[in-house]
Amino acid sequence: MNATTTRQRLVVIGNGMAGINTVEQILKLDPQRYEITVFGSEPYPNYNRIQLSYVLEKSKSIDEIILNSWEWYRENGIDLRTGTTVTRIDTDSRTVHTEDGTVVPYDKVIVATGSKPLMLPIPGADKEGIVGFRDIADCETMLHAAKLYRKAAVIGGGLLGLEAAKGLLKLGMDVTVVHLVEELMERQLDRTASLMLQAELESQGLKFATGRQTAEFLGGQRVTGLRFSDGTTLEAEFVVMAAGIRPNTEVGRASGLTVNRGIVVDDYMRSSAPDVYAVGECGEHRGVCYGLVAPLFEQGAVLAKHLCGVETKPYEGSVVSTQLKISGVDVFSAGEFMDAPDLNVVRMHDEWHRIYKKVLLRGGRIVGGVLVGDGKQAARLQQWIRTGTVMTEEIHAAIMGTAAAEAGNSAADLPDEEIVCGCNGVTKKHIVDAIRDNGLTTVDEIKACTGASRSCGGCRPVVEQILQFTLGDKYDSAAAKKEGICGCTKLTRDEVVAGIQEKGLLTSKEVMHVLGWDNPEGCSKCRPALNYYLGMIWPAEHQDEKDSRFVNERMHANIQKDGTFGVVPRMYGGVTTPEDLRLIADVAVKYNVKLVKVTGGQRLDLLGVSKEDLPKIWEDLGMPSGYAYAKALRTVKTCVGSQFCRFGTKDSMGMGILLEKKFERLDMPAKFKLAVNGCPRNCAESSTKDIGIVGNEGAWEIYVGGNGGIKSRLADLLCKVKTDEELVEIVAAFMQHYRETGKYLERTSDWIERVGLASVTAAVVEDTENRKALAARMETALSQVKEPWKEVLDNPVLRQRLYSEIQVPVGTK
């Protein structure tokens, strides 16, 4: 018998932070022990839910918060079923059942279904415009709402509500936090700390309605405001409910497990049914349901050892600490925080510096603390609380900011066994050893190697301090801040591209090997980037590494949230014919397409197509791919122009079709959109496109760097040209210059801001020799492009591998 057949079947229900952290630990302890299947309701791989607050305020993208890439699941042999909700476990037949009828047998099963936002049952709560804040979909709804509406209310002045409110404020909304009691974060802060926090947030622009109970949501179909129990009202076009969470126990209840508030587990995370475990926010341990990752990861560590037959101490509960993730606001709280008769309190309140520190002692031992305005000692305070350390003069001086605290690098005095990263349980010694043993020089390398700073990021300053004192004179602050293209390397985009060119590297594997990647397999960030850079540098020699591409690009269709796909055939310049329309309609009927949608780019999107039907539809359509999924030219939007419009001075449709036919299929650093207009009335909206062309007084104006997406930007005028030939040459040169100097995933709007319009004008317009050279290199690149749908239809092996019934892990892009 081989190893595979002897493996036990482990099913994990919930593809979130606690479940996958447990799987990671199991793989470290005994990678061959289990054949693992993971079910997740969301259509994403495991991501850092904590950092949704950063996605909302746009300081991070969704790609940047992915913790485990699709490749990670594949490489570890995990059968990942995203977009699939489990309904129950049959503990008699030892099977897991899903909403879509799938039944999977198990030897062990872990329930890790997390929590749901508490949606308060207030009259009118079902109106449009009222959301929770828990997942990427909520985050996207909020980002979208911020574009359409101005007045927002956030119900709940806890950690989540405040982070949501600050995010919406940063998006330009007028935000009021509605809070039940007078003190914000009353579960973590005393009145003094809470009032300081409120004052700081007010100075940043947030408004507060404290001591208010919402009695009703006003409005018709959509919310327009709130009415409080005291009869006063607040105008609000958008409402976020952040009034707490409830453990998601649906699967537990449907499976007959013992459930109180959460699924009841013992000290080894065992539920009431044999071989059924629960970990994370859905579980209730010794009467406590946790809502922060550090305790969940501690639970995961015990469970992983238990499941791998490794001796482990039982999980006996956690002391929790919290840190608000709002820039400019330093607020930390751990353990007990309210004065009580049996506690001694050490307190310091400096109103001038706006610093408040409080340490609570029971019988001389530290049992809790609050820090506002100065969180430098947060990691040490947390450790002293966790270990119940007795207060000493040194500790007192360190926390209260006398000599010892001011002694520069406080990380130097941390004991070796002190946990620096609470979220991931990483000690100072672990970090120091990793720096010394692996020659690490940046925090990102430490993150990749040890996990420290991977979750909330609150420990990052301490990790940096440890790096600084460990390296001593060798510490280079500039290098430490230099951002590698991902955690696998400290090389920047330009260094990687130069390395590929100078050393003649042809494959991603070669790049990682020769340029000394820390992680020899790469990650979901660097692999697609390398595939792009290699293709851009060696258009003829490079063999496309399909597996490095995001799923939409691998599948040549856009994956939807229910796991089906959207098919967008090419419709050059947004122009079609009755015959093509008839064909598309016939195909839509034949394959029972769920919806036909006219896209913003003037094409037709057939939505709700199964993976297996994709090649059949392409075959029946006989049209080229519209590339609606790719980091490539998407659409050329055109107005009617001089062919029909009485204002038209230029043939925008003709030029749009010509440009789309010329530049389609070419890989770009990011998606790329064009528009061509016949006159300055600009019906096809040139100002928000990567290249926008406007016919004006017999000439063409070329605008560049526009963006109508999340981060909108109006395009800049690059130049004005007289002839069609000049226009095509400048468009080619601009696109090639961007291809050669843009970072992977960097839209032209960000690229222009980074490199400056003047440098682009110089390279593409003023230096005619350079322009011609760029246009020539573009021709070479264009000579290599292939029609991808046809490629699949002509290649039975590829067709079978990607589009057969057998599940392939899917991605989001």
In the complex, what is the shortest distance from the CB of residue 64 to ligand FAD, in angstroms, rounded to a whole number? 15
Q: Angle at CA 345, nearest 5°, toward 344 and 349?
A: 165
- Looking at 65, 80, 86, 670, which residue binds ligand FAD (CB under 6 A)? 86
In the complex, what is the shortest distance from the CB of residue 525 to ligand SF4, in angstroms, rounded to a whole number? 40
Residues from 216 through 245 that contact ligand NAD (CB under 6 A): 242-245
Rounded to whole angstroms, how far apart are CA atoms 614 and 81?
20
| Contact string 146-185 vs ligand FAD (x = CB under 6 A) | --------------x-------------------------
Return the structure tokens found at 657.
């079709």
Q: Which partner, ligand SF4, ligand NAD, ligand FAD, none, binds residue 15 by CB below 5 to 8 Å per kind? A: ligand FAD
Contact range with ligand SF4 by CB under 6 A, out of 118-126, 356-364, 679-687, 801-809: 679-687
Does the annotation place 683 within a ligand binding site? yes
Residues from 277 through 306 that contact ligand FAD (CB under 6 A): 280-281, 291-294, 296
Phi/psi at 14 (5° precision): 115, 110
In the complex, what is the shortest distance from the CB of residue 184 to ligand NAD, in angstroms, rounded to a whole number? 7
Give whichever of 602 and 741 is closer to ligand SF4, judged by the CB atom: 602
Give whichever of 19 and 539 is closer to ligand FAD, judged by the CB atom: 19
Among the listed residues 604, 616, 615, the one whose alpha carbon sits nearest the alpha carbon of residue 570: 604
Residues from 41 through 70 that contact ligand FAD (CB under 6 A): 41-42, 49-50, 52-53
Q: Are 126 and 208 in contact (CB under 8 A)?
A: no
- Looking at 288, 640, 714, 757, which residue binds ligand SF4 (CB under 6 A)? 640
- Sequential DSSP letters for 116-138: EE-----TTTTSBTEE--SSHHH
Among the listed residues 364, 373, 302, 377, the one whose alpha carbon sits nearest the alpha carbon of residue 334: 377
The reply to whether 291 sits near ligand FES by the rule CB under 6 A is: no
Rounded to whole angstroms, how far apart are CA atoms 423 and 439?
24
The reply to whether 513 sits near ligand SF4 by the rule CB under 6 A is: no
Q: Cα dihedral sign for 88, 22, 37, 14?
A: positive
The reply to whether 458 sits near ligand FES by the rule CB under 6 A is: yes
Q: Which partner, ligand FES, ligand SF4, ligand NAD, none, binds residue 679 by CB below 5 to 8 Å per kind? A: ligand SF4
Burial class (CB in 10 A: 0-12, 13-18, 19+), 583: middle
The reply to whether 681 sits near ligand SF4 by the rule CB under 6 A is: yes
In the complex, what is the shortest distance from the CB of residue 182 to ligand FAD, in angstroms, rounded to a whole number? 24
- Looking at 325, 556, 747, 777, which residue binds ligand NAD (CB under 6 A)? 325
Rounded to whole angstroms, how far apart are CA atoms 177 and 766?
53
Contact range with ligand SF4 by CB under 6 A, out of 330-338, 377-385, 639-647, 653-661: 639-647
- Sequential DSSP letters for 543-560: PP-GGGS-HHHHHTSEE-
Rounded to whole angstroms, how far apart are CA atoms 115 and 250?
10
The reply to whether 711 sits near ligand SF4 by the rule CB under 6 A is: no
Which amino acid, 712? Answer: S
Does the annotation place 679 within a ligand binding site? yes
Three-state SS for 33-99 is CEEEEEECCCCCCCECHHHHHHHHCCCCCCHHHECCCHHHHHHCCCEEECCCCEEEEECCCCEEEEC
Burial class (CB in 10 A: 0-12, 13-18, 19+), 2: exposed
Q: Which partner, ligand NAD, ligand FAD, ligand FES, none, binds residue 453 by CB below 5 to 8 Å per kind? A: ligand FES
By rule CB under 6 A, what count of residues binds ligand FAD?
A: 34
- Looking at 678, 705, 706, 788, which residue binds ligand SF4 (CB under 6 A)? 678
Residues whose CB falls within 8 Å of the CB of residue 26, separated by 6 or more in sequence, listed in order: 10, 33, 34, 36, 304, 307, 308
* CA distance from start to end of the chain: 40
Return the structure tokens found at 428.
């100072």
Rounded to whole angstroms, how far apart are CA atoms 793 and 788?
9
The reply to whether 17 sits near ligand FES by the rule CB under 6 A is: no
Element at 736 (helix H, strand E) = helix 724-741
The reply to whether 214 sits near ligand NAD by the rule CB under 6 A is: yes
Does the annotation place 459 within a ligand binding site? no
The reply to whether 431 sits near ligand FES by the rule CB under 6 A is: no
In the complex, what is the shortest distance from the CB of residue 230 to ligand NAD, in angstroms, rounded to a whole number? 13
In the complex, what is the shortest distance from the CB of residue 385 to ligand FAD, in angstroms, rounded to a whole number? 16
In the complex, what is the shortest distance from the CB of residue 340 to ligand NAD, in angstroms, rounded to a whole number? 20
Give whichever of 114 and 566 is closer to ligand FAD, judged by the CB atom: 114
Q: Which partner, ligand NAD, ligand FES, ligand SF4, none, binds residue 215 by CB below 5 to 8 Å per kind? A: none
Q: How many CB atoms lie within 10 A of CB 26?
A: 24
Q: Are 624 and 669 in contact (CB under 8 A)?
A: no
Q: Cα dihedral sign for 127, 128, 130, 136?
A: positive
Beta strands 238-241 and 151-155: pairing type? parallel
218 three-class SS: strand
Q: Which partner, ligand NAD, ligand SF4, ligand FAD, none, binds residue 681 by CB below 5 to 8 Å per kind? A: ligand SF4
The reply to whether 511 sits near ligand NAD by the rule CB under 6 A is: no
Rounded to whole angstroms, how far apart are CA atoms 288 and 496?
49
Does the annotation place 139 within a ligand binding site? no
The reply to whether 465 sits near ligand FES by the rule CB under 6 A is: no
Binding residues: 639, 645, 679, 683
Residues in touch with ligand FAD (CB under 6 A): 13-19, 39-42, 49-50, 52-53, 85-86, 112-114, 133-134, 160, 248, 251, 280-281, 291-294, 296, 325, 456
Contact positions vs ligand NAD (CB under 6 A): 120, 155-161, 163, 178-181, 186-187, 213-214, 242-245, 291-292, 322-325
State the residues that interact with ligand SF4 by CB under 6 A: 639-641, 645, 647-648, 652, 677-679, 681-683
